[in-house]
Amino acid sequence: MKAVILAGGFGTRLSEATTLIPKPMVEIGGKPILWHIMKIYSYYGINEFIICCGYKGYLIKEYFANYFRHNSDMIVDLSNNRVKTLTNNAEHWKVTMIDTGLNTMTGGRIKRIQKYIGNERFLLTYGDGVSDVNITKTIDEHVKAGKILSVMAFQPSGRFGALDIASDGIVNSFLEKPAGDGAWINAGFFVCEPKIFDYLSGDDSEIFERKPIEKIVEEGQLHAFKHDGFWKAMDTLRDKTELNTIWDSGAAPWMSW
């Protein structure tokens, strides 16, 4: 089974870091968040990836084109330009990188890689979120549900501290990170049947999360698997800092490998 990663957006809300590199290449603990996402899948035996490139996609291609050498010990004999590899610390991944257009939206990007999927079930995620999700369990739940599309649902906590204030101005309670409004959100880990391509028009301006998914919902073909563990997307510089702090603590929840 292949995992498709949407990695072509501009990452404008993280412009401090994405001026020179694409958002999926922004680092957590010295490694691109894209690498962390791929390690999550790899832990569950998913080692074939299709990366939908766009903005500064050549940097993603260069990263993986040089991955083997950058992660291996070697001897370079400059007199004859021979290279001898001493140790191989590279991943056992097969990575297909496809230029899906600079301004293409999510639906258009997915449609563009259809021929690399064929008639097979596949996994799909965004190139900016990490989680301790059990990938095997999501696939099993998807198969059991028998739907075209499954998505991981997550209940985020509130972003700001909450105050319960009485009419006289006295604070009755203070919660630093209260629960959110109870809504379940799209946390971006999908399991897809190849039939989802039938819902995509092929228009580069099409957003997967709008008409295509809305149509799938109307037909009762969207299944949600609820995740009560860890999930976080890297949308802002604050998110990047928080993810790096979690990683540096040595107890990153998504580090299952």
pLDDT in tens, 189-206: 999 999 999 999 999 999
Domain assignment present for residue 170? The answer is no
Q: Are 23 and 15 in contact (CB under 8 A)?
A: no
Q: How many distinct structural domains can be found in the chain?
A: 1
Q: Are 17 and 238 in contact (CB under 8 A)?
A: no
Query: What is the average pLDDT score of the chain?
Result: 92
Domain assignment present for residue 125? The answer is yes
State the residue range of the domain holding 58.
2-155+184-248
- What element of type H or E holds 136? helix 135-145
Mean predicted confidence (pLDDT) in 155-159 = 76
Domain assignment present for residue 50? The answer is yes
Among 125-139, 141-155, 157-171, the minimum mean pLDDT is found in: 157-171
pLDDT band, very low/low/confident/very high, at 176 (cuts 50, 70, 90): low
Query: Which burial class, exposed, middle or buried, applies to 236 when counting CB atoms under 10 A from its CB (0-12, 13-18, 19+)?
Result: middle
Helix (H), strand (E) counts: the chain: 9, 15
Q: Are 149 and 196 in contact (CB under 8 A)?
A: yes
Torsion of CA 38, 44, 46, 47, to 10 degrees: 60
pLDDT in tens, 217-240: 999 999 999 999 999 999 999 999
pLDDT at 161 over 60: no
Q: Are 39 and 32 in contact (CB under 8 A)?
A: no
pLDDT at 87 over 80: yes
pLDDT at 139 over 90: yes
Q: What number of other Cβ atoms are within 10 A of residue 65's Cβ?
A: 13
What one-letter code names the amino acid at 93?
W
How far is the CA of 115 from the CAs of 16, 48, 111, 195, in angstroms? 35, 15, 9, 13
Q: Are 215 and 115 in contact (CB under 8 A)?
A: no
How far is the CA of 239 from the CAs of 46, 80, 231, in angstroms? 27, 47, 12
Domain assignment present for residue 169? The answer is no
d(CA 139, CA 240): 29
- What element of type H or E holds 130? strand 129-131
Domain assignment present for residue 62? The answer is yes
The predicted structure's pLDDT at residue 56: 97
Cite the beta strand spans of 21-117 per DSSP E.
27-28, 31-32, 48-53, 72-77, 82-88, 94-99
Domain assignment present for residue 234? The answer is yes
CA atoms within 13 A on the CB side of 46: 23
The predicted structure's pLDDT at residue 178: 56
Domain assignment present for residue 254? The answer is no
What percent of the chain is modeled with pLDDT above 70? 90
58 compared with 181, residue with greater pLDDT: 58
Give the global pTM.
Answer: 0.91
Q: What number of other Cβ atoms are within 10 A of residue 233's Cβ?
A: 18
* Contacts for 42-45: CB closer than 8 Å, 24+ residues apart: 42/91, 42/92, 42/93, 42/257, 43/135, 43/256, 43/257, 44/134, 44/135, 44/136, 45/136
Domain assignment present for residue 88? The answer is yes
The predicted structure's pLDDT at residue 183: 81
Mean predicted confidence (pLDDT) in 90-96 = 95
3-class SS at 206? coil
CATH code of 136's domain: 3.90.550.10
Q: What number of other Cβ atoms are within 10 A of residue 209's Cβ?
A: 13
